[in-house]
Amino acid sequence: MKTNKIILLFFSILTALTTITACSDNDLNLVDPTNLSPESFFKTEPQVQSSVNAAYANLQTIGLFSRAYFFMYDLMGVDASGNPQLEADKVQYANFSFDSNHANIGDYWESCYRGINKANFVIDNSNIINALPDATISLEKKNKYISEAKFLRALYYFLLVNRFGDIPLITKVPTTSEGYPRSPKQEVYDLIISDLKTASTDLLDKDVEQKGRATKQAAIALLGKVYLYLEQYDLALAEFNKLNGKFTLEPNYFDNFKEETEHGRESIFEIGYEETLGTGTLWNSGFTGAGQNEATLRGQEYGFNNWFNTYPAPGLLADYETGDSRFEDSFYTDGDIFEGDVNQRIIRTGTPPGPVPSTEIYIPLARPAAWRKYQNYYKRANENGNSSINFKYIRYADVLLMMAECESLRPGGDQATAISYINQVRQRPSVMLPTLPLTLTKTEVFDAIMHERRVELAGEQSRFSDLIRWGKAETVLASQGFAPKNKLWPIPAREISSNPAISETDQNQGY
Amino acid sequence: MKKTVVKQRLLIRLMKMTLYQFLLTLIFSTVTMANSLNGQGKLDAKVTISVSDMNLNNALKELEKSADVKFSYNSRMVSSNQKISIKAEDELLSTILSRILKPLNIKYSLISNHIVLQKEDNKKEHNSSFSQQQKTLTGIVYDANGVALPGASILVKGSTTGTSTDFDGKFSINVDNSATVLIISYIGFDTVEIPIGDKTDFKITLNESSQKLNEVIIIGYGTQNRASVTGAISTVKAEQMAALPVANAVEALQGRAAGVSIVNTGGPGSEPLVNIRGFGSFNNTAPLYVVDGVIVGSLSGVNQNDIESVNVLKDASTTAVYGAKGSNGVIVVTTKKGTKGAIQLSLNVLTGFQNQNKRYDLLNTEQYLQYAKDAFGTIPTTPSSQSGVNTNWQDQIYQAGLVRNYDFGISGGGEKSSVRISGGYAEKEGIIIGTDFERYSFRANSDFTLGKLKIGESMSVAFNRTRPELDGGGRTLLEHAIKSAPYLTVYNPNNLGGFQGPNASGDTNDAENPVRIMKLPTVNNKSFSFIGNIFAELEIAKDLKFKTQVGVDYYSTNNSRFTPSFNDDSLGATHTQNFATIDKGTSFGQNIIFTNSLTYDKTFANVHNFQFLLLAEKIQSKFNSLNATSRNPISNDIDNILGSNQQIAATSSSNEYNKIGYLARLNYDFNNKYIASASIRRDGSSRFGANERYGWFYSGSLGWNIAKEDFMVDSDFSTLKLRGSYGISGNDNIPNYAYSAVLTSDFLYPIDGEGAAGTTANGLANPNLKWEQSEQLNIGLDIGLFKEKLTAAVEYYVNKSDDLLLNVPLPTSLGVNSGSQYRNVGSVESKGFEVTIGYNDYEGDFKWAANLNFGTSKSEAKSLGGTVTELLGGDFEGESITRITEGQTLYHYYGLVMDGIYQNQAEVNAVFTANPSQTTVTPGDIRYKDLNNDGNITNADKTIIGDALPDFTYGLNLDASYKNWDFNMFFTGLQGRDLINTNIYDLEGMSRLFNSGVNVMDRWTPTNPSNSIPKAGGAPQNTSISTRYLEDGSFTRLKNLSIGYTLPSEVFGQNYFSKCRIYISGQNLFTITDYSGLDPEIGNSNGFQSGIDRGAFPQPKTYLVGLQLTF
């Protein structure tokens, strides 16, 4: 009896306990107050635009243009040579000793795929975007936004397929953690071409689009470049010809590499930097693109009055014709004025004979030359860690030289026409080198193109890819340690370890 | 008869406890309570009793039964052969007591619901005519903590003259002039004999005897007698932690408890790493901290001098009651409460300094320039390279730091209330320049009894200020100090900021001036914490109590860093910042815990002891933060963020976390001999999706007190207990909202010169995310021999964690922004032994005690859920050092095996048989073992080369005292732990030209065929993760050494204080290790990083003098 009463009491009080503590399932239903939810997105034009903006941000990573990209390509293509202070992983580009653990190669891979996923986020939601009322976004704008995403997806895939060959081809935002196997590179090219075709019709003209965004012309130029890489010269030429009249060369070669003259008449697509927008996460942005990475480290890394990690390769210096003003525009050598220095010191090379006079400054390590292209030294004596100078991913001089190549190599190509494209580049007002005779043979034209591309695009990360597609890498780069396997990079170890659909046996040959 | 004595001892021990502990103890003892708790009412109760010619003890027991009261008295005081007879019917208890006790010269008083018996003052017994042969002695009796002891017995040796101390611990006794010695005794304490001499006033301190059986252990949501504990609990007492100059109370636990690993890392004020019984999870393995019933994030706000005891709960039977938070173990901290009786004031002061003199042996300027020329063909061309300066950069970053602690505590209380307030100040300068820690702390604990209602609170506030070690460019200060060229000066007034750094003069300029890194910025990290609870407990019926408690853990931080612009070399800036940066961050967080519980405590038939607990709990957590940074390119004078500044970046965030739990627990024992307990808890957490929000956690345990069996009566075993437990506890240590998919807007790209903000999907949702479960089995044996003079405990445990919450890396090609997804994958098994052995010799002038604890732990990944084959971490120079794979020790190092140096091309060719044309590796490079025999050295030749988990850890504590001298020596250490010392890369890597260790002078050259140090430059593989960096991190460390002297209380002629102890002590005075680095005590909360020494802040040696005073 007494026990029963106690049991009854216990259970009444248990009920009371719960009530008093006021526990409720609703307390467990919490919504993240800091981040947007997917359900509430893609309702307004600023939201659509914002989703597109995110896809650009991965261009500015350590793994791509902010840092690794210029080291990788300049060192592999021997535009640049490493000074003793060059970090060990960078030395591995120069002597082709990298393997699948190479951190920056992984960063490059991941930067591209992060960008692709952001582009897919836009493209995957195109149904929702297209269903928005025209009053919210016009049809033209809807197409343009989706095409910006397609342009960027194509660009990232192009960067990948050139370096890794067969790669996972992903066109959707993943909903599960399952990985994709490698797809034949032809399928990747098919997607790139299809995306760029859409982009080249739906993107806005460069005259009306905001500076920095992908334009119709950027898509056309990139599509032409892709066709060139596939050796489909006629298709490439057809695209390049669409750019007629839209671009001219900068009269002054050096204006391509200054902050003040960005998005000029020669510029087709640039990787944008603006350090005043913030550089807070620059060093931490290996591949995510998140945060403020609005500067490139190139100036700091290459500058002779800063870290001076690389210097212009002797072979590159030797390739310039006498009197080619592009040499002076690209490099500092003995006797030049240190322009950005308040004291206007004279630049000297070699080992200082003793105390350096206050009127002089020596390029360290007795190097014969140092980089001027893409440095801020034209206006300041120090790089100050960050640079706002945009990278020209494609500029018209490059297009002209690609056109020359296509014309020369296409079946039935006209060598004289090809030479005239080269001559346009040589006849830039600030350069004004003698024109090449229009009578050169096809082989001579090709040699001329190889030379002209090297000096015109020195330090612009073009050389290595050119040597690969020309089949010249094995001979030209043999002394650097280049082996046939190095035509492709290894699939990063971090992809193999995280993707069940790719195993070690799927690794590129030789790695 | 034996039983009665035990019971008496228990009762009398209860008297010295605080009211709070007293009540909690009652729950677990066999004591039954009177119907009426009102004291006066109790004496007014009507009682019927009839005894004749019974000894007093038994008569009082009868009375206890019939009146439902409890008596407390010193058995010495009440002569047991005194026979009494009494017959009463419905008489007032007070009357009955008067009738029995008056004739025996015993008075009674009601204290804490107990009727305490005391001898009437002896004065009355003695005729004044004897006064010329007598004198009056007075005094006070304390325990070792300076708490007055009421009811202690005072006896004149060789006579029957005696008395006992009153409520305030005071006594007064008339003795014959011929009396020479006083004997003071008290149950549970060692008896002392005090010579009388000419003294008339005494301050006497009694030391607790080694009887531990009746010790009360604080467990989750309650207390238990040690005798009835069936789980694995380690207890650390206040006295073991006191007087150590720690910034965080957790540091003081290091080495004290078997199976509890504590690694001090970083500078003063940084959070130590705590790990109980190995790695049971891939996530944070930090235990749960509970302070006075409040779950807190850290003990950094708790002054260790306020701590009464720390109980570490290690197995399921003790942790499952914390349900979804208990699987990493629980550290339960109880703070000191007010004491009844005389007001106690205690003061602790200590001061000293700490330093660290161990250095790496680096090249001096002359050696460096020679090395640069010989190894790299480089002659640094900067003017300063020929200046003849020789800077020892390591000496520049270390300093001797001041250590100071001041604490006071005052406590007191009356019959129905008690209070303790305390305050402390601690200051600790780090051994790295610019680092320090400072804390002001205050605490007030009090409780009040109002009839059947008891109300109490404990509140503490702490203000901390920390200046941490800073890094430069992601490299530690030590790395900068090693690599910096010795020819550089530290300071140069011609450079902006006043410091000198390297320039691009030939040698490599990664290293920044470490002194500038620490000294140029102004850093102030302040935090405030408030931890408190308030509770009310009501006895709603006989044996049934309801308790409600609200606990709060509130904390805020305010961090600022101001770095003026600088240029470390005006001739060619490699380290420069042409603007001032201002970083400000504030945050606040709070946990509110609302707990309601019901306990029912009952003994049936005197032997069946039941305790039943029902509990409902709700936890609400909130966190908010605001961070802003800006650059000021025009001024170094303003350390605030101005609206006109460029590049202001600000972010704020907030999140919430709620939890609901219900718990039921039954503890049962049969006559303290056979013990069983079971608990079940249901928890719901907002961290999981609606599908899997709730989880069940349970435990069961059994214990057998073999020593209580009849057949053991004559044995030397005072304790022999076998116990076992099994259960499931959980873990929801993942970020909030991890189950849901959100967008992130943290992207920026310049369009038309403006920042265009980007938004994208952050990650993959996982609505099926659920608890991590840890299935824990524990078997223990407790042994006590020779009245607990020798004690030992052995534990064996197996913890198997399933459904481990793991942030599984997604295939990188998916490009998902979060990069990973929380999933329940994999399982881990940890098992090990723990042994604790103690020996206590508390007799004679020379007393000593030794305590050894020893623990092994082995953790193995059983499964990774099939989605990934390995998990990598611990990046170093682009490679991963640490790996988890199925079937192997958690967090093992994975690398190549170094096998000497190639001395000639033939040796190279002999290894690279499948790749003969390779040009990278040449003589002088490291030879690695071709483990897969494929004629090439690749990643496939990597193997498991070691792991960061020690084979065993131990602590050895030695205490000794001789008369007034006391001595403590405490060793801690571990064995069989491997470390990866990446400093070797900085010291001997020689991949580029930096300053290096002197060993590079002995590098391989064609004329110096070293077999341990490769040539300079060399193949990239030379710096691959390999056994080259692997070192044995085993060590034994003298953690503490102290020598104290307690001044005799009459030393200043008068009794100013009850205790005055002065001591000197040293911490970390020596370390025995083969480790070549500065300090083998390496840790990281990230398991992948836990054994990698990247230039860690070494633990300093500390030298202290201190004073402890009690009034």
Average pLDDT, integer, range B526-554: 90
pLDDT tens-digit readout, B174-217: 888 888 888 887 766 777 888 888 888 888 888 766 555 567 77
Q: Is A3 on the interface with B (CB under 8 A)?
A: no
Residue type, A80: A
> Among the listed ranges A299-303, A345-349, B122-126, B584-588, which one has the minimum average pLDDT value?
B122-126
Q: pLDDT band for position A13 (50/70/90)? A: low
The per-residue pLDDT for B1053 is 61
pLDDT tens-digit readout, A262-283: 999 999 999 999 988 888 888 8
- pLDDT > 90 in chain B, percent: 25
Return the higher-pLDDT residue of A17 and A489: A489
Average pLDDT, integer, range A51-56: 97
Number of A to B CB contacts under 8 A, please give it: 348
Distance CA B689, CA A176 (A): 17
pLDDT tens-digit readout, B444-458: 999 998 888 999 999
Whether the pLDDT of residue B131 is over 50: the answer is: no
The per-residue pLDDT for B726 is 93
Distance CA B607, CA A461 (A): 87
Whether the pLDDT of residue B10 is over 50: the answer is: no
Distance CA A445, CA A292 (A): 45
Quickly tell me which residue has 């002590």 as its tokens: B1065
> Among the listed ranges A356-370, B630-644, B767-781, which one has the minimum average pLDDT value?
B630-644
Whether the pLDDT of residue B964 is over 60: the answer is: yes
Chain A residues in contact with B506 (beta carbon < 8 A) = 84, 364-365
DSSP bridge pairs for A43: none
- pLDDT > 70 in chain B, percent: 91
Whether the pLDDT of residue A328 is over 90: the answer is: yes
Average pLDDT, integer, range B460-468: 91
Quickly tell me which residue has 């996460």 as its tokens: A281
The per-residue pLDDT for B21 is 40
DSSP bridge pairs for B653: B625
Q: Mutation test of the interface with chain A: which of B688, B737, B814, B938, choosing the one with the most A Cβ atoms within 10 A?
A: B814
Q: pLDDT band for position A43 (50/70/90)? A: very high
> Among the listed ranges A21-25, B407-411, B506-510, B765-769, which one has the minimum average pLDDT value?
A21-25
The per-residue pLDDT for B647 is 72
Q: List strand residue ranges (DSSP E) for A108-231, in order.
A: 167-168, 182-183
Distance CA B426, CA B549 (A): 31
Q: How many CB atoms lie within 10 A of CB A133?
A: 6
Question: What does DSSP say about strands B879-885 and B1059-1067: parallel, antiparallel, or unpaired?
Answer: unpaired
Whether the pLDDT of residue B80 is over 70: the answer is: no
The first and second tokens of residue A497, run together, are 């370890």
Would you call A358 helix, strand, or coil by DSSP? Answer: coil
The per-residue pLDDT for A216 is 96
The per-residue pLDDT for A369 is 96
Chain A residues in contact with B740 (beta carbon < 8 A) = 32, 37
Q: Which of A23, A92, A113 shows the shortest C-beta gap to B660?
A: A23
Distance CA B216, CA B224 (A): 6
DSSP bridge pairs for B1107: B349, B1062
Q: pLDDT band for position A7 (50/70/90)? A: low
pLDDT tens-digit readout, B15-54: 443 333 433 333 333 233 333 334 456 677 777 777 777 7
Answer yes or no: do B813 and A113 touch at CB < 8 A. Answer: yes
Distance CA A66, CA A44 (A): 32
Distance CA A99, CA A508 (A): 11
Averaged pLDDT of chain B: 83
> Among the listed ranges A481-485, B200-204, B362-366, B504-508, which one has the minimum average pLDDT value?
B504-508
What are the φ/ψ torsions at residue B102 (nearest 5 degrees)?
A: -50, -50
Our separate counts of H helices and E strands in chain A read 19, 10
A-contacting residues of B 577-606, CB under 8 Å?
577-578, 594-598, 600
The per-residue pLDDT for B82 is 67
Q: pLDDT band for position B516 (50/70/90)? A: very high
Please tell me which of A194-203, B428-437, B701-710, B1038-1047 the model is most confident about, judged by mean pLDDT: A194-203
Please give, rounded to a whole number of angstroms, the shortest distance from the CA of B993 to a CA of chain A.
7
The first and second tokens of residue B248, run together, are 């965080």
Describe chain B by its helix, strand, coil percentages, rounded to 5.
15, 50, 35
Q: How many CB atoms lie within 10 A of CB A186?
A: 10
End-to-end alpha-carbon separation of chain B, Å? 40
Whether the pLDDT of residue B294 is over 80: the answer is: yes
- For CA atoms A126, A131, A137, A143, the dihedral sign is positive
Would you call B785 helix, strand, or coil by DSSP? Answer: strand
Give the CA count within 13 Å in the CB-facing half-sphere of B1045.
5
Whether the pLDDT of residue B1089 is over 90: the answer is: no
Specify the DSSP element, H or E, that contains A223: helix A216-229
Distance CA A56, CA A155 (A): 10
B172 with B164: CB under 8 angstroms? no
**What single DSSP character describes residue B768?**
T
pLDDT tens-digit readout, A367-383: 999 999 999 999 998 88
Return the higher-pLDDT residue of B1055 and A302: A302
Residue B716 C-alpha from the chain's centroid? 35
Please give, rounded to a whole number of angstroms, the shortest distance from the CA of B577 to a CA of chain A.
6
- For CA atoms A240, A241, A242, A247, the dihedral sign is positive
Q: pLDDT band for position A124 (50/70/90)? A: very high
The per-residue pLDDT for B40 is 53
Answer yes or no: do A212 and B749 touch at CB < 8 A. Answer: yes
The first and second tokens of residue A318, run together, are 């030797």
Residue B1049 C-alpha from the chain's centroid? 34
Would you call B369 helix, strand, or coil by DSSP? Answer: helix
Averaged pLDDT of chain A: 92
Would you call B548 helix, strand, or coil by DSSP? Answer: strand
Return the higher-pLDDT residue of B513 and B248: B513
Q: How many CB atoms lie within 10 A of CB A340?
A: 16
The per-residue pLDDT for B24 is 35
Please give, rounded to a whole number of angstroms, the shortest distance from the CA of B354 to a CA of chain A.
35
Specify the DSSP element, H or E, that contains B791: strand B790-802
The first and second tokens of residue A291, run together, are 């945060």
DSSP bridge pairs for B652: B626
> Among the listed ranges A173-182, A361-370, B74-83, B1097-1106, which one has the minimum average pLDDT value?
B74-83
The per-residue pLDDT for A400 is 97
Whether the pLDDT of residue B125 is over 50: the answer is: no
Distance CA B51, CA B47 (A): 13
The per-residue pLDDT for A488 is 96
Whether the pLDDT of residue A423 is over 60: the answer is: yes
B668 with B641: CB under 8 angstroms? no
Q: How many CB atoms lie within 10 A of CB A151?
A: 30
Contact residues for B151 (Cβ-Cβ < 8 A; gap 6+): B12, B15, B72, B73, B74, B116, B118, B164, B165, B186
Question: What does DSSP say about strands B181-185 and B153-156: parallel, antiparallel, or unpaired?
Answer: antiparallel
Whether the pLDDT of residue B135 is over 60: the answer is: yes
The per-residue pLDDT for A269 is 97
The per-residue pLDDT for B126 is 43
Distances (CA, A) of B821 to A168, B545, B606, B631: 20, 46, 57, 36
| pTM score | 0.78
pLDDT tens-digit readout, A213-268: 999 999 999 999 999 999 999 999 999 999 999 999 999 999 999 999 999 999 99
Residue type, B57: N
Question: What does DSSP say about strands B288-291 and B330-335: parallel, antiparallel, or unpaired?
Answer: parallel
Q: Is A88 on the interface with B (CB under 8 A)?
A: yes
pLDDT tens-digit readout, B825-857: 888 999 999 999 999 887 778 888 898 999 998
Whether the pLDDT of residue B147 is over 60: the answer is: yes
> Among the listed ranges A423-437, B63-77, B320-334, B770-784, which one has the minimum average pLDDT value?
B63-77
Answer yes or no: do A364 and B572 touch at CB < 8 A. Answer: yes
Chain A residues in contact with B614 (beta carbon < 8 A) = 10, 13-14, 17
The per-residue pLDDT for B227 is 76
Q: pLDDT band for position B78 (50/70/90)? A: low
By C-alpha distance, which of B994, B991, B924, B988 is closest to B368? B994
Average pLDDT, integer, range A292-311: 92
B446-475: b or e for each residue (b if 16 or more CB lie within 10 Å)? Answer: bbbbeeeebebbbbbbbebbbbbbbbbeeb
Distance CA B636, CA B562 (A): 9
